[in-house]
Structure 1
Amino acid sequence: MDRIDHKIITLLAEDCRRSLADIGAGVNLSPSAVNERIRRLTASGAIRRFTVEADPEALGLPVTAFIWVALAPDSDEAAFRSFAQTRPEISECHHVTGPWSYLLKIHSPSLAGIEAFLSTLKERRFLARSETMIALSSPVDPGFSPRGDL
């Protein structure tokens, strides 16, 4: 990737609906040249997807929580990862170092929704232990990319 590819990615990250002509004006390339670079960046995996950032409150999900998860010694980590990829309330899942296995960021309609989510983790026998922190506000937040039906 060269400096132009980086600039194209930056422009798309700011607004993925930006026109090829507008991007081209920003990097001094024709729209067709920009389109070819975007196609190449997507094929290489440098651009993984184009998405919409939505306001969780507008979607009826005003509660944001971070959950530290220590997997149970006998749990299936691959099954946990598959579970995390399919749960619409999980917006982020990070495998981390230290005493925890994963850090999850979830959006929920209520505190009861968080409790229900934790119950599901327990029922599936993923948890050795967990710690949940509720976000009071998010002064810097890139938004929320909904996955599936919420």
Structure 2
Amino acid sequence: MDTIDEAIIRCVVRDARATYAEIGKEAGLSPSAAKRRLDRLVKSGAIRGFTAIVDPQSLAWHTEAYVEIYCTGNPTPAELLKALEDIPEVVDACTVSGAADAMLHMLAADIPHLELAIQRVRATGPVDRTESVIVLSRLLSRPRIQV
């Protein structure tokens, strides 16, 4: 990975719909060279996909919770990802140290919606039980650092 690849990644992280001309301009390449480099980054797995980031507030999802999940057996992170990735209310998930196997950040429209989403999490193969805390007020929220 060189500075050109990093410029391409910065561009598509900021705007996954950027044109090859826009990517090339940012990376100092022609559009066709930008396409070749981007295709190489995708083929190598450095870029795993492109996505739309939906603002949960636009969906009116104002109920927020952190959910610890405890699993049966010893699932791999990839197995946990596969079990959770189709639950849209899970907006962030990570494996953690300590008693829990993973921690989820979930958003929902209201408490009944959150409860149904947590039930879907519990119904996934590796999950044995969950423990949840509901956010009452957000004190600080910093944007994530992008490449």
Report the TM-score when normalising by structure 1: 0.76
Q: Give 1:101's aligned residue.
A: 101
Please name the residue that 1:139 is paired with: 141
Relative to structure 1, the CA distance from residue 123 to residue 75 in structure 2 (aligned partners, 3 Å threshold; closer, same or farther) is farther
Change (3 A) 1:128 1:53: closer
How does 1:6-21 map onto structure 2 within 5 Å? 6-21=6-21
In 2, Cα distance between the equivalents of 1:135 and 1:12? 35
The separation in 1 between residues aligned to 2:14 and 2:123, in whole angstroms, is 40
Instruction: Give the gaps of 5 or more residues in structure 1.
Output: 143-150
Structure 2 CA distance for aligned equivalents of residues 23 and 80 of structure 1: 34
Structure 2: segments with no counterpart, 5+ residues:
none
Q: 1:135 to 1:31 in 2, by over 3 A?
A: farther
8 Å Cα contact 1:93-1:103 kept in structure 2: yes
- What is the aligned partner in structure 2 of residue 130 from structure 1? 131
Matches within 5 A, 1:63-74: 63-71=63-71, 74=72
Native 8 Å contact 1:93 1:104 kept in 2: yes
* Distance of 1:76 and 1:27 partners within structure 2: 43
RMSD of the alignment, in Å?
2.7
**2:93 match: secondary structure:** strand
**C-alpha spacing 1:41/1:102, structure 2 compared with 1 (3 Å):** same
Q: For each residue in 1:48-72, what CA deviation from the matched residue of structure 2 results, as whole angstroms up to 9, or x when unmatched?
A: 111111111212322232212223x
- Higher relative contact order, chain-length normalized (CA < 8 Å, sep 6+): 1
| Aligned CA distance change for structure 1 residues 49 and 80 (closer, same or farther; 3 Å) | closer
TM-score (ref. length: structure 2): 0.77
Query: Which secondary structure state, in structure 2, belongs to the residue aligned with residue 104 of structure 1?
Result: strand
Identical-pair percentage: 26
Q: How many correspondences in the alignment?
A: 140
Contact 2:122-2:128 within 8 A present in 1 as well: yes
Partner of 2:41: 41
**What is the DSSP-based 3-state SS (H/G/I as helix, E as strand, rest coil) of the residue aligned with 1:32?**
helix
Which is worse superposed, 44-53 or 132-141? 132-141
Task: Give, as a single letter, the amino acid of the residue that structure 2 aligns with 1:4.
Answer: I
- Going from structure 1 to structure 2, the CA distance change for 1:2 and 1:111 (only over 3 Å counts) comes to same
